[in-house]
């Protein structure tokens, strides 16, 4: 009696209209929730739709309306807790505002990022949130922005680009912790980042393609200079792209006769690895080495000693980016803004006076 309805050829508005005995246009009005229809007809169409188990085709709808109800997100690595938390912020806002999220991992590779954006644009996303791997060649970003679909840059993005951006006040945070370390007597302070340069060596902040990191290093170097410390560029280590790389870099650095008395890790993955190397090398924190890490990862409070971190509003970063994007989607055409969220230093026990 109640045999399974044939699923393959999905039911369309036309089918519903036919069953309800009205025109396609009228059925579409009821199903699409637009225009005006009499109560009598509405009931009939609704009943027919239910009977046929009508499922709207969002694709067809997007086709005519031009809006897909989708936002595209390109991040470096969703596996990184930083991005997964930011992603949570984005998806939460998206869900609340009725959008759906397409996620693409760039693997921090500029070429992949480029094709990702092209793919998303082809899929007609309504807007984009991108955490650009490299800022040097940003043509694809400009192009995306020019395509008419709003674009928001997340955590990164250079000052020269006239594009909406949401970042944390990394520079200020770096200045703060650097000052603190110097006040405690540290003179040999290392900074380790995943960002790499062509020669795998650091010369000047301009080498750094990632805005957030560049700003931190600028802050670090400026405060050092203020305090009379020179050539601190030599203490900046780049290329800690994987835990293995970090391990190698940290080991060489900490085994050196002129090893640093303090280390600033540019993210929690690096911080964790430095912590491990210290243990391997028998260095005690904070007596032999002070450690500060960016990103308040969950584990940082539970080590011995717990590590002092820069707490970034990561969820808020994603949330703000998504909100800004949705505003644009709703027609806000004010000129590009730059949202800067506050960071906070969480003092724990991995920082102490420099050994004498």
Contact pattern for DNA over residues 43 through 82, marking x by CB under 7 A: -----------xxxx--xx-xxx-----------------
Between residues 55 and 204, which has the closer beta carbon with respect to a second copy?
55
Q: Write the burial class of residue 74 (CB in 10 Å: 0-12 exposed, 13-18 middle, 19+ buried).
A: buried
Among 56-64, 134-142, 162-170, 205-213, which window interacts with a second copy (CB under 8 A)?
A: 56-64
State yes or no: residue 148 binds a second copy (CB under 8 A): yes
What element of type H or E holds 291?
A: strand 290-294
* Cα–Cα nearest to 277, from 243, 309, 325, 318: 243
Cβ neighbors of 88 (< 8 A, separation 6 or more) are 315, 318
Q: How many Å apart are CA 105 and CA 92, to the nearest integer? A: 19
State yes or no: residue 3 binds DNA (CB under 7 A): no
Structure tokens at 239: 């290329």
Among 7, 18, 24, 126, binds DNA (CB under 7 A): 24
Q: How many Å apart are CA 104 and CA 272, to the nearest integer? A: 26
State yes or no: residue 146 binds a second copy (CB under 8 A): yes
Among 10-18, 131-139, 211-219, 257-265, which window interacts with DNA (CB under 7 A)?
A: 10-18
State yes or no: residue 102 binds a second copy (CB under 8 A): yes
In angstroms, give the least distance from the CB of 75 to a second copy: 10
Angle at 61 between CA 57 and CA 67, to 5 degrees: 130
Q: Kindly determine how many residues on this chain lie close enough to bind DNA according to the rule CB under 7 A.
A: 30
Query: CA distances (Å), 264 to each of 107, 144, 237, in order?
Result: 24, 35, 10
What is the rounded radius of gyration, in angstroms, for the C-alpha atoms of the chain?
A: 26
Among 100-108, 152-160, 186-194, 210-218, which window interacts with a second copy (CB under 8 A)?
A: 100-108
State yes or no: residue 247 binds DNA (CB under 7 A): no
Angle at 79 between CA 219 and CA 89, to 5 degrees: 70
Among 28-36, 53-61, 175-183, 327-335, which window interacts with a second copy (CB under 8 A)?
A: 53-61
Among 18-26, 112-120, 150-158, 348-356, which window interacts with a second copy (CB under 8 A)?
A: 112-120
101 binds, among DNA, a second copy, none (CB under 5 to 8 A by kind): a second copy
Q: Crossing angle of helices 81-96/268-281, nearest 10°?
A: 160
Among 2, 7, 36, 186, binds DNA (CB under 7 A): 36
Q: Where are the beta strands (DSSP E) in 150-251?
A: 151-154, 164-168, 189-192, 236-237
The residues binding a second copy (CB under 8 A) are 4, 7-8, 55-60, 62-63, 68, 70, 77-81, 83-85, 87-88, 91-92, 95, 100-105, 112, 118-124, 146-148, 269, 272, 275-276, 279, 297-299, 301-304
């Amino acid at each position: 009696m109640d045999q399974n309805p044939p699923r393959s050829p999905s039911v369309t508005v036309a089918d519903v209209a036919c069953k309800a005995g009205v025109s396609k246009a009228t059925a579409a009005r009821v199903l699409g929730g637009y225009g005006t229809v009499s109560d009598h007809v509405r009931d009939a169409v609704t009943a027919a739709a239910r009977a046929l188990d009508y499922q709207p085709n969002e694709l067809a709808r997007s086709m005519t309306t031009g809006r897909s109800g989708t936002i595209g997100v390109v991040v470096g690595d969703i596996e990184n807790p930083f991005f997964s938390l930011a992603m949570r912020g984005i998806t939460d806002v998206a869900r609340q505002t009725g959008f759906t999220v397409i996620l693409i991992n760039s693997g921090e590779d500029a070429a992949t990022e480029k094709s990702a954006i092209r793919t998303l644009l082809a899929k007609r996303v309504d807007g984009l949130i991108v955490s650009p791997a490299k800022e040097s060649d940003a043509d694809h970003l400009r192009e995306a922005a020019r395509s008419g679909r709003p674009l928001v840059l997340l955590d990164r993005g250079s000052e020269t680009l006239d594009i909406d951006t949401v970042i944390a006040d990394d520079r200020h945070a770096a200045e703060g912790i650097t000052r603190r370390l110097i006040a405690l007597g540290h003179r040999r302070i290392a900074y380790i980042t995943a960002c790499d340069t062509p020669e795998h060596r650091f010369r000047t902040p301009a080498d750094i393609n990632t805005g957030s990191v560049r700003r931190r290093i600028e802050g670090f170097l400026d405060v050092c200079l203020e305090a009379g410390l020179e050539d601190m560029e030599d203490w900046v280590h780049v290329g800690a792209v994987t835990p293995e790389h970090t391990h190698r870099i940290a080991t060489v650095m900490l085994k050196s006769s002129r090893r640093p008395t303090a280390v600033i890790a540019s993210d929690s993955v690096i911080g964790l690895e430095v912590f491990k190397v210290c243990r391997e090398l028998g260095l005690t924190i904070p007596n032999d080495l002070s450690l500060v890490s960016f990103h308040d990862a969950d584990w940082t409070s539970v080590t011995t000693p717990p590590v002092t971190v820069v707490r970034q509003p990561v969820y808020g970063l994603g949330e703000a980016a998504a909100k800004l994007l949705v505003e644009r989607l709703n027609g806000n055409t004010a000129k590009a803004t730059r949202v800067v969220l506050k960071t906070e230093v969480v003092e724990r026990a991995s920082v102490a006076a420099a050994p004498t």
